[in-house]
């Protein structure tokens, strides 16, 4: 095992283990019909920011992003290019997750290449649980903005821009100016589309979708990985997939071979 390969795997594991340790320190005690129920928060808690009572409320009519399934909240990227029989790679991520950014920086080009060629069916599950850990609402706002970008056909570009500009200091978060003005322009959203995007953002028109998607995604991830669930989390054909971490210098070819083996 090369030193770089070992370091990458150790960094990924350390981040996920840190999330789990932090989650296990948080407990929510509720009383239902006189019975005290103790709920252990797994990976920042089921009661993440998206379900908290102080979560921002939507002020406009709600919409569903065209690339996403309304019920599950799963985005499918370039669905029209997917070849028959291609394996489905699903990525669970949070826009504030630093290891998600590292993964995007290392594997993103190869993943996008495979999605573009149709050799994989690429899906995203966008979570927002890190808002609770970091005591802000940046994961929720970034997810809401990304959904708005999908409304004008720019989800992929916006997704990449958010990760590219993730703050170095965890918990710093993203500003409204970045999310509604700087990032969309960098993602190529201009003119009438920029006006539409900003209205979606200002009206929180994708809020209901984002909260539902985050809740369903967290539940599904916990079902597949239990206490070890953390972001980034990959599945192939809905089965836990970890061998991607063993590819030290990914190319579309090496990544596809690994995905097919896991399918």
For CA atoms 190, 196, 198, 201, the dihedral sign is: negative
All structural domains of the chain = 8-262 (3.40.30.10)
Rounded CA separation 258/263 (Å):
9
Cβ–Cβ under 8 Å, residues 131 and 256: no
Beta-strand runs (E) in 41-120: 75-77, 88-94
| Ordered per-residue pLDDT tens for the chain, 263 residues | 444 445 555 555 555 555 544 444 333 223 222 222 222 233 333 333 334 434 445 556 999 999 999 999 999 999 999 999 999 999 999 999 999 999 999 999 999 999 999 999 999 999 999 999 899 999 999 999 999 999 999 999 999 999 999 999 989 999 999 999 999 999 999 999 999 999 999 999 999 999 999 999 999 999 999 989 999 999 999 999 999 999 989 999 999 999 999 99
Cβ–Cβ under 8 Å, residues 262 and 243: yes
3-class SS at 26? coil
H or E stretch at 109: helix 98-117
Q: What is Dmax (Cα atoms) for the chain?
A: 58
Q: What is the pTM of this model?
A: 0.79
């Amino acid at each position: 095992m090369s030193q770089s390969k070992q370091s990458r795997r150790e960094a990924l594991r350390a981040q996920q283990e840190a999330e789990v340790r932090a989650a296990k320190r948080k407990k929510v005690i509720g009383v239902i019909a006189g019975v005290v129920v103790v709920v252990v928060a797994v990976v920042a808690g089921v009661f993440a920011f998206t379900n908290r009572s102080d979560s921002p409320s939507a002020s406009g009519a709600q919409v569903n992003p065209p690339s996403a399934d309304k019920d599950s909240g799963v985005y499918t990227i370039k669905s029209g290019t997917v070849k028959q029989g291609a394996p489905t790679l699903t990525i669970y991520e949070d826009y504030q997750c630093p290891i998600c950014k590292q993964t995007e920086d290392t594997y993103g080009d190869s993943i996008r290449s495979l999605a573009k060629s149709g050799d994989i069916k690429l899906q995203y599950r966008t979570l927002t649980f890190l808002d609770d850990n970091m005591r802000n609402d940046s994961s929720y706002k970034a997810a809401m903005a990304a959904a708005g970008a999908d409304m004008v056909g720019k989800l992929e570009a916006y997704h990449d821009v958010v990760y590219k500009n993730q703050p170095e200091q965890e918990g710093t978060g993203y500003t409204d100016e970045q999310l509604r003005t700087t990032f969309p322009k960098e993602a190529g959203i201009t003119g009438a589309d920029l006006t539409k995007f900003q209205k979606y953002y200002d009206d929180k028109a994708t809020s209901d979708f984002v909260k539902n998607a985050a809740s369903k995604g967290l539940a599904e991830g916990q079902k597949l990985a239990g206490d070890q669930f953390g972001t980034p989390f990959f599945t192939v054909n809905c089965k836990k997939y970890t061998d991607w971490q063993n590819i030290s210098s990914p190319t579309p070819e090496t990544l596809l071979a690994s995905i097919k083996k896991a399918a």
